[in-house]
Amino acid sequence: MKLKFKILALNVAALFIMLIILGPIIIQISDNYNLSNTLNYLKSQGEYSTIYIEQYILSKVGNIFEVPNIMDSDSPYLCSYLNKNIKCRVQIFYGNRLLGDSEDIIDNNRNIRPEVSETFKGNKAYYITKNKTRTLYFATPVNIDGRYNYSLALIYDLSDADKMKRNNMNMFIITGMLAAFFSVVFSNFISNKIISPIKTLTETANLFSKGDLHPKVEVNSTDEVGELGQTFNTMADSLRSMIHELKDEKEKQKNFFDNFTHEIRTPLTTILGYSELMWKTDSIEVKDKSLFHITSEGKRMLKMVERLLELSRLKRYDFEINKSETNLKTLLEEVCDSIHYKLGRYNISLDLILQDLYALVDPDLFKQVIINILDNSIKYSKTSKIDIVLKENNGIELVIKDYGIGIDPEILENIFEPYFKGDKSRNSSIEGWGLGLSIVKEIIDKHEAQIELISHIDEGTQVIIRL
Ligand SMILES: Nc1ncnc2c1ncn2[C@@H]1O[C@H](COP(=O)(O)OP(=O)(O)OP(=O)(O)O)[C@@H](O)[C@H]1O
Ligand SMILES: [Mg+2]
């Protein structure tokens, strides 16, 4: 059963139970009140009437033995006189003999009525008929001079009380029906109010289960349903941010491993290049130099792998920089020396103007920066000459300049984005990953240094690093 119908059924049932129990109780209480008022009225009228009868009879008789005769003759008068005051049928009995009656109704029942019979034992008595229209029979003893016992009977028509009882009953039925109608309307309204946010919640939860994490539950109330909506929204927020974090973490991981694979390529090509050279040459000097570069690049690669393993163990997918006071001139010479073989293959000459300057940098990462920049000039620019200038100019300034094809100004602004590659039509023969300059930018940012790339088509490109 739906919640809405449960609320409705519960309300109507509660109302009916109340009406079924309360209705008869209230009707009975009000009827009892009416009857007891009538009875009290008859009792007090009975008392006055007996006094009146006694005094009337005593005032008429010469001696006390005439009482029965006077009672026989005057009872009809007394009954009609009293009827005018009491406004109900009045009868006077002597035993089962009717002496007077305010109404001319012939009663063939010769049996003495129970309430009348009770008065000859000295008691007042009453009873109520159980017909559809009820009648209250009340009788009180009339004792004249302590010698003669009569009975005064008052017969009260209870049709007004019956009418009132019926009216009350009808009123209860009409009120009950009206209350039931309003209860249906009201509980419908209330249940709609309760159920509509629950429906919204269910719809939103359904969207969630299908993977749409964006919708929010509109919470307008401060009750328990409102609280549930708020909790749902908070849960959704933390779920969203958790998923966001997870995606971020995954993205970071991917970038990290991509960058690593990218950087391991350079020492490998250097090692392979010098190994090849060793096969070809007979010169001891060239062989020595090649062995030196193979060993130093091998050591650099080992260091990189060790770093990777360590960071992967710590789940820190980020560059770690270990700065130390480094002689930049020596560092640049080492890098140029290691790519000497490659430069030879492309027929590119190097022009170095280097001041002897020291800076606080991570030497391995800084080597990677220079290798990446030089690698681009060698691969893309078709230059025959590269200049490297290291000098003091409001801090340390390093300029790497080629005289090649240059970079299209349109792509220049996105050049540091990861996986961004230049115009294929201009460098069709070379397949890069588009990661080199993004790694350079990340390392430079970690050093809180600046990098600038100035390029003109067919004039060349210069990269300026300021430390
Ligand atoms: N000196 C340069 N002369 C001409 N074009 C350049 C130069 N430097 C960079 N570019 C252009 O910028 C693009 C981005 O360079 P980046 O080093 O980021 O990636 P890549 O060299 O293509 O790939 P990767 O470095 O990962 O092997 C290159 O594809 C190239 O088109
Ligand atoms: Mg590159």
Question: pLDDT, tens digit, for every residue of 319-346?
Answer: 778 899 999 999 999 999 888 888 988 9
Give me the residue spans of the domains in the chain: 3-103+110-165, 323-467
Determine what percent of the chain falls in helix, strand and coil, rounding each to the nearest 5. 60, 15, 25
Other C-beta atoms lying within 10 Å of the C-beta of residue 29: 10
- Distance (Å, rounded) from C-alpha 448 to C-alpha 279? 44
Tokens of 123: 């008691």
Mutate to test the pocket of ligand 1, among 257, 408, 412, 421 (most ligand atoms within 8 A of CB): 421
Q: Whose CA is nearest to atom 9 of ligand 1?
A: 376
Confidence of residue 10 (pLDDT cuts 50, 70, 90): confident
**Are 352 and 370 spatial neighbours (Cβ–Cβ below 8 Å)?**
no
Residue 429 in this model has a pLDDT that exceeds 80: no
Task: To the nearest 10°, report the CA torsion of 112, 113, 119, 121.
Answer: 60
For residue 191, what pLDDT is reported?
84
Q: How far is CA 45 from CA 57, 122, 134, 135, 137, in A?
A: 18, 18, 20, 17, 14
From the CA of 461, which ligand is nearest? 1
Q: How far is CA 436 from CA 367, 369, 421, 448, in A?
A: 13, 8, 10, 19
The domains spanning 3-103+110-165 and 323-467 adopt the same CATH topology: no
The CATH number assigned to the domain with range 3-103+110-165 reads 3.30.450.20
Residue 1 has pLDDT above 70, yes or no: no
pLDDT, residue 431, reads: 66
Average pLDDT over residues 227-254: 87
- Residue 251's pLDDT is what? 87
- The two tokens of residue 90 are 């009045």
Q: What confidence category does residue 70 fall into, taking pLDDT thresholds of 50, 70 and 90?
A: very high
Cα torsion at 372, 374, 379, 380 (round to 10°)?
A: 100
Residue 410: predicted pLDDT: 84
∠ CA 143-147-151, nearest 5°, is 30
C-alpha of 329 from chain center: 64
Res. 45 pLDDT band, cuts 50 70 90:
very high
Angle between helices 67-86 and 3-60 (to 10 degrees): 140
Q: Among the bound ligands, name the one nearest to the CA of residue 431.
A: 1
Q: What's residue 426's pLDDT?
A: 60
Q: Is the CB of residue 23 less than 8 Å from the CB of residue 180? A: no
pLDDT in tens, 430-444: 567 788 898 899 899
Q: Which atom of ligand 1 is nearest to the CA of 422?
A: 31
Could you please state the CATH topology (level 3) that the domain comprising 323-467 is classified under: Heat Shock Protein 90 (3.30.565)
- The preferred substitution site among 428, 437, 455 for testing ligand 1, maximizing ligand atoms within 8 Å of CB, is 437
377 lines ligand 1 (CB under 6 A): yes
CA distance 8 to 328: 85
pLDDT tier at 423, thresholds 50, 70, 90: low
Give the closest ligand to the alpha carbon of residue 263: 1
DSSP string, 359-408: EEE-HHHHHHHHHHHHHHHHHHS--SEEEEEEEESSSEEEEEEE-SS---
Q: What is the mean pLDDT of residues 418-432?
A: 67
> For residue 240, what pLDDT band results from cuts at 50, 70 and 90?
confident
In this prediction, residue 353 has a pLDDT band, given cuts at 50, 70 and 90, of very high
Q: Over the stretch 254-278, which tens digit does the pLDDT of each residue have?
A: 888 888 888 888 889 889 988 988 9
Minimum CA distance residue for ligand 1 atom 7: 376
CA of 299 to the centre of ligand 1 (A): 27
Instruction: Locate the ligand 1 atom nearest the alpha carbon of residue 463 and give its number.
Output: 1
Q: State the average pLDDT over residues 299-309.
A: 84
Please work out, in degrees rounded to the nearest 5, the angle formed at the alpha carbon of residue 39 by the alpha carbons of 33 and 40: 90
* pLDDT over 60 (residue 195): yes
Read off the pLDDT of each residue in 56-75 and give the average, rounded to a whole number.
92
Please indicate whether residue 323, judged by its CB atom, sits closer than 6 Å to ligand 1.
Answer: no
Please report, for residues 154, 216, 243, 458, the alpha-carbon distance to residue 231 in angstroms, rounded to integers and kept in the order given: 77, 11, 18, 62
Q: Residue 291: pLDDT band by 50, 70, 90 thresholds?
A: very high
Distance separating the N- and C-terminal Cα atoms of the chain:
75
Q: Is pLDDT of 120 > 90?
A: yes
Task: Report the distance separating Cα 350 and Cα 387, nearest Å.
Answer: 6
Length of the chain equals 467
Across the chain, mean pLDDT equals 88
Of 401 and 106, the structure prediction assigns the larger pLDDT to: 401
**Which DSSP string corresponds to 229-288?**
HHHHHHHHHHHHHHHHHHHHHHHHHHHHHHHHHHHHHHHHHHHHHHHHHHHH---HHHHH
Q: Is 331 in the pocket of ligand 1 (CB under 6 A)?
A: no
Residue 59: enclosing H or E segment and its boundaries?
Answer: helix 3-60
Judged against a pLDDT cut of 60, whether residue 142 lies above it is answered with yes
Candidate from 4-8, 38-42, 50-54 with smallest mean pLDDT: 4-8
How far apart are the CA of 436 and the centre of ligand 1, in A? 7
**CB of 380 closer than 6 angstroms to any ligand 1 atom:** yes
Residues whose CB is less than 8 angstroms from the CB of residue 152 and which lie 6 or more positions away in sequence, other chains included = 46, 49, 50, 53, 90, 91, 92, 119, 139, 140, 141, 142
Among the listed ranges 21-25, 150-154, 324-328, 387-391, which one has the minimum average pLDDT value?
Answer: 21-25
pLDDT of 428 above 70: no
418 within ligand 1 shell (Cβ under 6 A):
no
What is the rounded radius of gyration, in angstroms, for the C-alpha atoms of the chain?
A: 59
Closest atom, ligand 1, to C-alpha of 437: 18
Coil vs helix vs strand at 416? coil
Considering the chain, what percentage of its residues have pLDDT values greater than 90?
Answer: 47
User: Ligand 1, from 263, 373, 380: best to mutate by most atoms within 8 Å of Cβ?
Assistant: 380
Which ligand approaches the C-alpha of residue 415 most closely? Answer: 1
pLDDT the model gives residue 163: 92
User: Which residues does residue 385 pair with via DSSP β-bridges, in sequence order?
Assistant: 349
What's the burial of 7, exposed, middle or buried (CB within 10 Å: 0-12/13-18/19+)?
middle
Tokens of 422: 């230049």
CA 450 to ligand 2 center in whole angstroms: 18
